[in-house]
Amino acid sequence: MGGDGDNPNKMKKFYDSLIQQGTKWFDKSKKAISKLDLKKTFSKFNIKSVAGDKRFNIKVVNKKRFMINMAALSVIIVGITYFVFANNAFSVVINGVEVAKVKHKETAEEVITALKQSYEKENDVEVAFSSQISYEKVNASKKELLEGKALEEKLKGHLDYQVKCAVIYADDKPIATLKTKEEVDKVLSGVEQYYTKGVDLSKIKEKGFSEKVEVKEEFMDVSTVMNVEEAQNYIINGTTEVRIHKVEAGESFWSISRKYGISLEDLQRANPTANPEKIKIGQELNLVVPKSLINVKTVEEVTYTDKIPYEQKLEYSSSMYKDQTQVRVKGEYGEKEVKAEVVKINGIESERIILSENVTKEPKTQILVKGTKEPPPKKGTGTFITPTRGTVTSRFGYRWGRNHNGLDIAAPVGTAVKAADGGEVIFASTSGNYGKLIKIDHGGGFVTYYGHLSKISVKVGDKVYKGQTIGAVGTTGRTTGPHLHFEIRKNGNPVNPSKYL
Ligand SMILES: [Zn+2]
């Protein structure tokens, strides 16, 4: 919007038009002068015509005529100058294009100011024109001049405006535009609340954004302005894309993650408030994996009790076989009071800094004994050992109206059951009243039975040595309590085990 005359180009244009006008008038006036009574003119100047010397005569006349013309021209220039200034107009130039002609610059300026005010009222915010406006002095006929409504419409069509906004910057990059700083505050605190749902605010020591977040007032196109909710969602998701899945009957978090090719973790990140175990039919799940543009960092100071693991010491015993181990002293966990700083990004723990540890209970070292003795050969020796430790509750023989084929030894469930002699496992499965049963063939027609087991540790075909653990005491099959039912059979017939042990 430069003033008149400060632009040399404009001046040149102006003078060019002046000269053009002048030339026209000069031509017109030449015609007029040629009609003047030359004799009268000459006599005024007291110059007598010299008859016969036409050339001289013409020369003189031309000189006089030139002077007359010059005088006339002066008058004409004054006239033109008057004319030009009397008909002075301005063209309104927007972004280098002439859009209207006005009589006075002020006419356009007033319309532009009114337009600005109406835009401000419409948007309820300060506006600025982004278009370049300037004025040029021109000649215009009355018909060409615009004013009032017509001028307003013409300018409206060419003027682009921007509104004053509050722009959120994260690490020097603009990420969202809002109308006011108050709205920005709402957005930022909304994002913060969203990410601190799982954070104990009473223990918070520090809270802030991971990025450098700034708010700047700038003029922006009105189309870029978001409302509070839009901006908040955009910042959290890193996109305005919306993809929703409505839960249908029979679906689970897992099946939905498979259906859309999203990992379970990502689906959970996209739905931090949904409980993966308890989704309901009709519930809407977000399928867009968020890539937050602003991340919330919190530091909590927490105290808690933590376990201290125990150590294990190995001891050796020559009274046990090489493949046997036994816990002599059971290990126990210790306890400590821990004070720590927990750093969370968007509510998810990213770092834990231990500030202090106070041991309240020392752990107890476990002592494990390992055998060194070479085990006996895995074949029958002809003698038997008692297969488990416990109390004999029922002996071999006739009882309660029927024959008891073995020996019942009561012991807690899980007590080790050992092979009474070396041999080969010929049965290791469930069998009617016996429950879980192992049969071992020792050769020489001897087979032993181990019934009601809770656990079988061998399989058919295994060679075992005398004293090797083969299973554990239980209550499977027909029992009244945990015990081992032990039989010795010779050539298929049960014999009294007490006679062999
Ligand atoms: Zn029995």
pLDDT tens-digit profile of 106-143? 888 999 999 999 999 988 889 999 888 989 888 877 78
Question: Does 425 share its domain with 456?
Answer: yes
pLDDT of residue 48: 47
385 C-alpha to center of ligand 1: Å? 17
Establish how many alpha carbons lie within 13 A of residue 457's alpha carbon, considering only the half-sphere containing its beta carbon.
13
82 C-alpha to center of ligand 1: Å? 139
Q: What is the mean pLDDT of residues 169-181?
A: 94
β-sheet with 325-329: strand ranges across? 312-321, 366-373, 325-329
Is position 1 within any domain?
no
Nearest Cα to Cα of residue 231 among 270, 175, 182, 296: 175
468 C-alpha to center of ligand 1: Å? 22
393 C-alpha to center of ligand 1: Å? 9
447 C-alpha to center of ligand 1: Å? 16
Q: What is the mean pLDDT of residues 389-404?
A: 87
442 C-alpha to center of ligand 1: Å? 21
479 C-alpha to center of ligand 1: Å? 8
463 C-alpha to center of ligand 1: Å? 25
427 C-alpha to center of ligand 1: Å? 18
407 C-alpha to center of ligand 1: Å? 6
Show the tokens assigned to 59: 């020369």
Is position 291 within any domain?
no
Tens of pLDDT, residue by residue over 293-309, are 999 999 999 999 999 99
Segments of 78-159 assigned E as strands: 88-94, 97-102, 127-129, 133-139
The count of other CB atoms within 10 Å of the CB of residue 232 is 20
Nearest Cα to Cα of residue 194 among 237, 158, 154: 237
For residue 80, pLDDT over 90 is answered with no
Question: Does 282 share its domain with 171?
Answer: yes
Give dist(CA 397, CA 501) in Å, integer: 16
380 C-alpha to center of ligand 1: Å? 24
Tens of pLDDT, residue by residue over 221-266, are 888 999 999 999 999 988 777 889 999 999 999 999 999 988 998 8
pLDDT of residue 198: 75
For residue 171, pLDDT over 90 is answered with yes
Question: Does 321 share its domain with 393?
Answer: no
Question: Does 76 share its domain with 111?
Answer: no
Is position 326 within any domain?
yes
The domain boundary residue, chosen from 247, 265, 286: 286
CATH number (domain holding residue 489): 2.70.70.10
Least confident of 82-86, 361-365, 422-426: 82-86
423 C-alpha to center of ligand 1: Å? 22
486 C-alpha to center of ligand 1: Å? 7
239 C-alpha to center of ligand 1: Å? 73
φ, ψ of residue 184 in degrees (nearest 5): -60, -45
405 C-alpha to center of ligand 1: Å? 7
470 C-alpha to center of ligand 1: Å? 18
| Count of structural domains within the chain | 5
Is position 294 within any domain?
no
Give dist(CA 346, CA 270) in Å, integer: 12
CATH number (domain holding residue 317): 2.20.230.10
Question: Does 243 share its domain with 197?
Answer: yes
Is position 477 within any domain?
yes
Q: Percent of the chain, pLDDT > 90?
A: 54
pLDDT of residue 270: 86
Question: Regarding predicted confidence, which is higher, 306 or 78?
Answer: 306
460 C-alpha to center of ligand 1: Å? 23
175 band by pLDDT with thresholds 50, 70 and 90: very high
408 C-alpha to center of ligand 1: Å? 5
Tens of pLDDT, residue by residue over 450-471, are 999 999 999 999 999 999 999 9
Show the tokens assigned to 467: 């004293």
433 C-alpha to center of ligand 1: Å? 10
Provide the mean pLDDT of the chain: 86
Question: Does 325 share its domain with 352?
Answer: yes
422 C-alpha to center of ligand 1: Å? 22
For residue 49, pLDDT over 50 is answered with no
Question: Does 196 share its domain with 278?
Answer: yes
21 band by pLDDT with thresholds 50, 70 and 90: low
pLDDT of residue 1: 39
Please, what is the end-to-end C-alpha distance for the chain in angstroms? Answer: 120
Domain range for 339 = 299-370
Is position 292 within any domain?
no
126 C-alpha to center of ligand 1: Å? 98
CATH number (domain holding residue 171): 3.10.350.10
The domain boundary residue, chosen from 224, 251, 286: 286
The domain boundary residue, chosen from 105, 124, 159: 159
For residue 84, pLDDT over 70 is answered with no
Cβ atoms of residues 471 and 451 within 8 Å: no
Question: Does 147 share its domain with 228?
Answer: no
484 C-alpha to center of ligand 1: Å? 7
451 C-alpha to center of ligand 1: Å? 8
Is position 25 within any domain?
yes
Question: Does 76 share its domain with 22?
Answer: yes
Is position 95 within any domain?
yes
359 C-alpha to center of ligand 1: Å? 51
pLDDT of residue 45: 46
Give the DSSP letter of residue 201: G
